[in-house]
Amino acid sequence: MKMLLFLALAVHSCVASPASQILDRTDITAAVNLALKAYLTSVDDPLTLNPHIEYKIDAPLIADVLLTMDGATLGGVKDVTAENCDLTGSGPQDIELNLRASQLALSVPGYSMNGTVVDHIPLEGAGQASIVIEDLVAKLVGKGTATLSPFSVTFTEIALDLELFRWTVNFEDLAPGTDLGTVFNQFFSMCGPELFDILEIRLNEGDGLLNFINGIFKP
In this predicted structure, the answer to whether residue 132 has a pLDDT above a threshold of 50 is yes
pLDDT over 50 at 199, yes or no: yes
Distance CA 150, CA 211 (A): 20
Rounded distance, CA 163 to CA 64, Å? 22
Sorting pLDDT into bands at 50, 70 and 90, what band is 24? low
**Is the whole-model pTM more than 0.75?**
yes
Residue 51 preceded by cis peptide, ω within 30: no
Q: Are 125 and 108 in contact (CB under 8 A)?
A: no
| 3 state SS of 21 | coil
Residues in the chain, how many?
A: 219
- Asked whether the predicted pLDDT for residue 20 surpasses 80, the reply is no
Q: Is the pLDDT of residue 53 over 90?
A: yes
Contact between 33 and 80 (Cβ < 8 Å): no
| All domains of the chain in start order, with CATH | 2-216 (3.15.10.30)
CA separation for the pair 10, 38 (Å, rounded): 11
For the segment 90-115, the average pLDDT, to the nearest whole number, is: 92
Calculate the average pLDDT of the chain. Answer: 84
Q: What is the mean pLDDT of residues 130-154?
A: 89
What angle do helix axes 181-190 and 192-203 make, rounded to 10 degrees?
60
Selection from 67, 34, 41 nearest residue 171 by Cα: 67
Which carries the bigger pLDDT value, residue 218 or residue 201? 201
pLDDT tens for 34-48 read 877 877 888 899 999
Q: In a 10 Å sphere around its CB, with 0-12 CB exposed, 13-18 middle and 19+ buried, how is residue 129 labelled?
A: buried
Separation between Cα atoms, residue 86 and residue 191, nearest integer Å:
31
161 neighbors 204 (Cβ within 8 angstroms): no
User: Does residue 104 carry a pLDDT above 80?
Assistant: yes
- Percent of the chain clearing pLDDT 70 (strictly above): 87
> Would the pLDDT of 25 be above 70?
no
